[in-house]
Structure formats: C-alpha cells, structure tokens
Amino acid sequence: MIVYFLGNLQNPQITIVSSEGEIILSVEEPQTPEKATAKVLTHLINSGYFYATVDSVTIDDLNTKAFVTKGCRFRIAEVLYVNHENTLTTEEWQSLMVDIPSFRDIDFDATKVEAHVKMINTLLEERGFLQAFVSVSPPDITEDCTLSINFLVNAGNKTTLEDHLFSGVNRNDIDYLKRVTGIRRGDVITPRNIRNARINLENTDLFESVEVPLLASRDDSFFLFHEVVERRANAFDILFGYVPEPGGGNTLIGQGNLTVRNALLSGSTLDISFERLQLLTTKVNFDYSSRWILRTPFGAGFAFSFLQQDSTYTTRNFHLRGTYNLSSTTEIIGTLRQESVSTNTLSQASEVNQALDGDAFFGGVGIEYRLTDRRRNPTRGVEARILAESGFRRITDIRIENFDVERRFPQQVVHGFFRAYMNFFPRQVIVPSVHAHTIISGEYSRTDLIRFGGAKSLRGYNEDQFRANRIVWGDVEYRYLLDRFSYAFIFGALGYYERPILILEQSNSFAVNQWLNSYGLGFAYNTPIGMIRFTYAISPEESFSNGKVHFGLTANL
C-alpha cells in the first residue's frame, strides 16, 4: 500500500489515500520522516493493523510519500467485563450487563473502544454512579489476527444529594424551590433528574432564566448548585384593540389582567382579568392555583368566570382543578365544573334570545406536556394539551315547552392544543400551532357554543365573532429574534368551524360550516417596563389598509 501525505506550510493537513478510500487528519507543522512514520503507524494501529510497518519515507517540497506494509486487521474475538472490587452488587451488575450491547466479532478500532467506554460510563451515570471510572487493559493479541479486551469497571459509590444551593434568589421561598426540583436530600443524583430539576424550576414561571444545575462536592457530600435570574413576582397585562366597523368608524376594545405570584402560599398564582373584547360583552375571570403542595407533586386550584352578554343573559362558571406532576414535562389534570345560565326576564318572552336558563355539571381529565429550551420566548421544543370533559346539561327555561326537546341531556367537551418551536437557522424560529375544540350534544343553545376569533385565537377577525360546536384552526408564525426575548413576526392562519341548529331555531338555514383564513405581522419587544406587543392582522373580509390592530403591554411589578 502507498500512503501519500499531501500537505505544506499553507495547507497543514495529512491525507491518507489508499485503495480503501480517503481519510483526512490534521497536523500542526511540516512533516519529517520520523513524524510521518509515527503518524502513519499511530493511525494504522488505532485502526487494528497491529503488524503494520513503514518501509520508507521520502520528502520533497510539495508532498511526503510513505510506503507501508499494512498486514492483517485484527478482530475482537473476546470481551471481558470486570466488576472491580465488587463495587456493584450482583443485581446491579447483571442489570448493567443486560444493557451493554455486544462488542464481539467486529474489527478493532480505537475510536469504537473509546465510544464503548463512554457508553458504559453513561449507563453507570444513569444509575447514579457519577464517579464511575472504566478503563481498558492492553489487548491480548494472537497469531490468527484476533484479540481479547478487558474492561475494568469501577463504579464507586452512588452519588446522593446533601442539599440544594441557590444563587440569585431574593424574592422566593428557597424551601419551596427545593421542593419543586423533585430531588430530596438522600436521593440518588442522575443526569436525568438534574435535567428535570431545571425544567421543574423553569415551569414555576418565577424566573427569567434557569441554568443547568452544577454538581458540587464538599467533604464527600454532594450539592446541586442552581444559578437563576428571578423575574418580578407580579405582572399586569393590558391589551387594546382597534377594530374597524363594516359601515365605517371603529371600536376600541380592551383587556386587563393582574397576576400575583406567591399569594398566600409559596408557588401559588392568582390571576384576575377583566375583558371588554366585544361591544356590550363583559368577562371577568378569577383563578387561584398552587403547585407542589405539602412537599408532594400535587397541585390544586379553583376558578370563577362571569360573562355578561349585553342585557340578554349571564353565564357563570365555577371550576375546581387538581394536578399531578407525572414528570418534569408531563402533568395530569382533573377538573370539576359547574355552569349556570340566567336570561333576562323580559327577553324570555321572545325566541330571539337564543340563550336558555339552565345549568350544567362536568368532570374531566387531561394531560399537558411541555419540553422547551426556555419558558419565555422558546426557540426549540413542544407544548401540547388535551382535556376531555363529560357531564350533563339541564334546561329550566319555560320557552322549551313548545319544542320537542329533552330538558336534561348528556354533553361531552374536548379541547386540544399543540405548538412546536423549530430553530433551523440562527435568530430564526418557525412556530406552527394547532387548536381544536368540539362539543358533542343532542341539543344546543347559544351558551353551549364555543366563542372564537380575535387577538387570542384566530387573528384578523372580530373578538368572539364566531360561535361553533366544532372548531379547528392552525397558524404558522415566522419569528426573527431581535434579542433573547424580543422578535418580529409574520403569520398565516387557516381554520374551519361548524355551527349547529339551536333549540329555538326552526330552519336548517341557521346551520353553518365555513373555512376561515387570515395573515398579518407584528412584533414583541422587551423593554425595561415590560413586554410590548403589536399585531396587525387581516382577514378576507377586510382590505389590507383596514386590518385589526392590537397593542399589548405586560409589565412586571
């Protein structure tokens, strides 16, 4: 075999060319015969040619030529693993051996041996042996070009947690944060629960950033060091909208939301919001929740929402919610909900008011998954949520006496959501999302239907412009990052909905199924007072110059 080293002062590379292909190696200086010989032999021996020899080396101004006798390539015939000083119990050793893939009957390659050692170390680290050390004894070679390898496994002791240390915590309860990490004193530390500890802390929404915890030791005790940047505990969120009217003029709409964290209990959140997103429609929402109660991964909350539709009807909803953190990324949800509808007494004489007096009771179960690179303005990851509720609705309105309908009937409600963050190029993020809602019922009144459209759903349309029992819509947003939290974006959206015939309607003409679409642009910009958001959205109903404008500010208090 002839090996050519093609390299000079301007191009310090060695290229080994043979009948088997081409391999490029880096060098730091021009070659001498001795260095060329050592480089070739090192490469060939690492590739399993233990009998290789360099016959001669010649050097001129442009290249170096080495004439090599390669010999046979050794194969690994036998592999032996040694439990050094029995640092692993019999059960632990057997479990490790099951997970190690076969390493026999392959050509020897030093890089493969190194990768095998790293794999064994990784398996030991996953079991909590973070101080494990795996070494390889010199191979025993034979005349028939086979060899045996011994791997010496020294697992050491399992690494257990003594305590958590925090840097950057001034506003939050450290005992609560230790609880949230999910790793208690005496627990075995693994790379997996180190990663989960960071995700759990980030999911509290108490921090601007959470770094990967570092493992520190002192006097044979091990600590997890968490470096965080706190966000201000409370926030005030306002949203204003400018909505052009079809006949000319415009309507100003708005929403305000106050978030108070660590209210009453550490880790709790209180949300109060007031919405006037549609003329003569008022919404009030009150929500209180707490997570990691009594050092357990359980959480609970309750909510009350109120909707006043001009002078025709009022809807009230009471929610009880329980959660269980199945893992750092997955949460199980259980809900109980009671809804009541009361119509204006004067409007009950008319069938124009399609809302009906009554109440409903639902129980539900769901699951939420989130794995993103950071909580605020993610660039990679996935968010998903699905909630299914089942219950019954009871109609007490006197107007249904003239209709052949049941006063009590079952209903099922399903809500689903999915969003991904994809970062293919620096500063550029693609964010596709899909939303789906469906209500299954034998009968429908106006208050059963799901409201959608507007700044927080299908942008480009009026707030709560549509009502439906089945909806699916999705959008794709392209973001260009201005900094860690700020970005400009453009988006396109497509949706479909169905509206059924309501109880008080006599004609099929009221049923609707329709496709919707919109597009727009905007930005979210982080400032010292908070996050400023702007969106300009257009639907086919409007010209480009007559789009919907929304301006929002989230201020940390």
Tokens of 518: 């919109």
Q: What is the DSSP letter of 396?
A: -
Task: Extract long-range pairs of 130-133: CB within 8 Å, 24+ residues apart.
Answer: 130/159, 130/189, 130/190, 130/215, 131/156, 131/157, 131/159, 132/156
Nearest to 372 by CA among 429, 332, 426: 429
Query: What is the reported pLDDT for 9?
Result: 39
Tokens of 536: 């300009």
Query: What is the reported pLDDT for 312?
Result: 84
Specify whether the CB–CB gap between 22 and 16 falls below 8 A.
yes
Sign of the Cα torsion 178, 179, 183, 186 reads: positive
Determine the angle formed by the axes of helices 110-126 and 90-99, rounding to 10 degrees. Answer: 130
Place of tokens 């109609």: 395
- Using 70 as the pLDDT threshold, list the residues of the chain that sit under it: 1-31, 59-64, 243-251, 277-279, 345-353, 509, 557
Report DSSP letters for 421-485, one per residue: EEEEETTEEEEEEEEEEEEEESS--GGGSEEE-STTSSTTS-TT-EEESEEEEEEEEEEEESSSS
Nearest to 501 by CA among 444, 462, 460: 444
Tokens of 229: 């940047």
Specify whether the CB–CB gap between 521 and 491 falls below 8 A.
yes
Q: Which domains does the chain have, with CATH numbers?
A: 2-69 (no CATH), 75-154 (3.10.20.310), 161-230 (3.10.20.310), 259-525 (2.40.160.50)
Distance of CA 156 to the CA centre of its chain: 35
Specify whether the CB–CB gap between 182 and 193 falls below 8 A.
yes
Q: What is the DSSP letter of 399?
A: G
Q: Rg of the chain's alpha carbons, rounded to an integer?
A: 33
Query: What is the reported pLDDT for 58?
Result: 73
The helix (run of H) or strand (run of E) holding residue 152 is strand 146-154
Nearest to 268 by CA among 287, 285, 286, 291: 291
Residues constituting the chain: 557
Nearest to 461 by CA among 552, 540, 545: 540
Nearest to 514 by CA among 496, 501, 499, 539: 496
**Alpha-carbon distances, residue 440 vs 221, 389, 427, 450, 550 (angstroms):** 58, 10, 43, 12, 33
Query: What is the reported pLDDT for 138?
Result: 84
Residues 255-271: tens digit of each pLDDT: 888 999 888 888 899 99
Cα atoms in the Cβ-side hemisphere of radius 13 Å centred on 474: 10
Query: What is the reported pLDDT for 36?
Result: 76
Nearest to 225 by CA among 276, 159, 179, 163: 163
Rounded Cα distance, 228 and 201, in Å: 9
Rounded Cα distance, 363 and 442, in Å: 18
Tokens of 452: 């959608």
Nearest to 444 by CA among 495, 393, 486: 393
Nearest to 77 by CA among 97, 46, 106, 48: 106
Rounded Cα distance, 183 and 173, in Å: 16
Query: What residue ranges in 43-129 does DSSP mark as E strands?
Result: 53-59, 63-69, 75-83, 106-107
Instruction: Let me know the angle formed at the C-alpha of 484 by 478 and 488, rounded to the nearest 5 degrees.
Output: 30
Rounded Cα distance, 277 and 307, in Å: 12
Residues 289-310: tens digit of each pLDDT: 998 888 889 999 999 999 988 7
Query: What's the predicted TM-score (pTM) here?
Result: 0.79
User: What type of residue is 533?
Assistant: R
Q: Cβ-count burial of 352 within 10 angstroms (0-12 exposed, 13-18 middle, 19+ buried)?
A: exposed
* Residue 3, strand partner residues: 66
CB atoms within 10 A of CB 56: 10
Query: What is the reported pLDDT for 189?
Result: 94
**What backbone torsions phi and psi does residue 294 show, to the nearest 5 degrees?**
50, 45
Rounded Cα distance, 493 and 362, in Å: 31
The helix (run of H) or strand (run of E) holding residue 120 is helix 110-126
Dihedral in degrees, nearest 10, Cα atoms 37, 42, 43, 44: 90
Query: What is the reported pLDDT for 502?
Result: 87
Place of tokens 């709409």: 253
Place of tokens 């050097």: 59
Query: What is the reported pLDDT for 352?
Result: 59
Tokens of 507: 């004609």
Place of tokens 């005992």: 175
**Alpha-carbon distances, residue 164 vs 158, 185, 223, 532 (angstroms):** 17, 8, 6, 36
**What backbone torsions phi and psi does residue 131 show, to the nearest 5 degrees?**
-105, 15
Dihedral in degrees, nearest 10, Cα atoms 163, 164, 169, 174: -60
